Amino acid sequence: MKQPTLGNPQNTIAVLQKYNFVFQKKFGQNFLIDTHVLDKIIRAAQISEDDCVLEIGPGIGTMTQYLACAARRVIAVEIDRALIPILEDTLDGYDNVRVINEDVLKVDIAKLAEEENGGRPVKVVANLPYYITTPIIMGLFEKHVPVKSITVMVQKEVADRMQTGPGSKDYGALSLAVQYYARPYIVANVPPNCFMPRPKVGSAVIRLDLHEEPPIQVKDEKLMFRIIRASFNQRRKTLANGLKNSPELDFEKEKIEAAILSLGKGASIRGEALTLAEFAALADRLS
Ligand code: SAM
């Protein structure tokens, strides 16, 4: 296998100029130009020679080259048609890579895992397009596609939201959803100068190890997430008012208040004070 050639500013600029590539803001294109960061992501993802990796948004193929050297198979899904001839060039000689020109949100990942990995769980590794971080990650969780871990570059603020617990201003529906499906672990903070062009925000690499079994038991998972969304939609309201006013829920005020009291919480408690286990208990009492 060829050693990676991309990952530094000079070679990235040479490829971009060769193809007169124009960055598309709408696709969240910020290409990595720092080999240390690339090495860190590959190490954090713990890829072995048996692994099948799904890369979302390969760009010009920088991280794809690194992944191809570490994994058995790499499937890279890229939406921008202008990048496909570039990828054919930069990935020439990496014969374990398949590039798919598609919107990742429309790809049947379970089917891909079946075709490419005999249905066994794949590892997702990506420098994500920030405008669709949440739909991509929630899609992987909710569709129950076979995924072992997700190691991704996201906005620093989003990584913080995924990892935090009750009481923090960053705690919310995303924290609870991520922690229900996976164990989050922030690997590194990455400054804007590691990308071309530079993003306006700081970034972080986060690794999510998917639980084999959820960490808590709940009778009706969908109801629990409706309750969670309702609690955080109206952050400044009490939990009872948030649930009462939600168009997604239809419980009487007395029932909501009794359920909250039975958790040992006061009437003025806010949703941001509840743990995942407490949301599950609340959903069970209301279901
Ligand atoms: N992996 C490259 C790197 O690190 O240099 C590029 C990362 S860049 C932040 C995000 C990439 O995702 C871009 O190549 C962009 O075109 C691609 N992308 C954006 N939206 C996408 C979508 N819906 N499906 C697949 N790829 C997408």
Q: Per-residue pLDDT tens for 236-254?
A: 889 999 999 999 899 999 9
Is residue 103 in contact with ligand 1, taking CB distance under 6 Å?
yes
Is residue 63 in contact with ligand 1, taking CB distance under 6 Å?
yes
Q: Over the stretch 189-209, which tens digit does the pLDDT of each residue have?
A: 999 999 999 999 999 999 999
Instruction: Give the model's pLDDT for residue 223.
Output: 95
For residue 240, the CA-to-ligand 1 centroid distance in Å is 41
Residues of the chain with CATH 1.10.8.100: 221-286
For residue 101, the CA-to-ligand 1 centroid distance in Å is 11
Question: What fold does the segment set 9-210 form as a domain?
Answer: Rossmann fold (3.40.50)
Question: Going by C-beta distance under 8 Å and a sequence separation of 6 or more, which residues neighbour residue 8?
Answer: 33, 34, 35
For residue 227, the CA-to-ligand 1 centroid distance in Å is 33
β-bridge partners, 154: 204
Question: Which ranges of the chain would DSSP assign to H, the alpha helix?
Answer: 9-18, 35-45, 62-70, 84-90, 109-117, 133-142, 156-163, 173-181, 221-233, 239-245, 253-262, 276-286
In this structure, which CATH number among 2.60.40.1760, 2.40.10.10, 1.10.8.100, 3.30.360.10 belongs to the domain 221-286?
1.10.8.100
Looking up tokens 């306006």 gives 200
Q: Over the stretch 117-141, which tens digit does the pLDDT of each residue have?
A: 998 999 999 999 999 999 999 999 9
Q: What is the mean pLDDT of the chain?
A: 94
> What pTM, to 2 d.p., does this model score?
0.93
For residue 219, the CA-to-ligand 1 centroid distance in Å is 37
* Best residue for ligand 1 mutational test, from 21, 79, 107 (most atoms within 8 Å of Cβ): 79
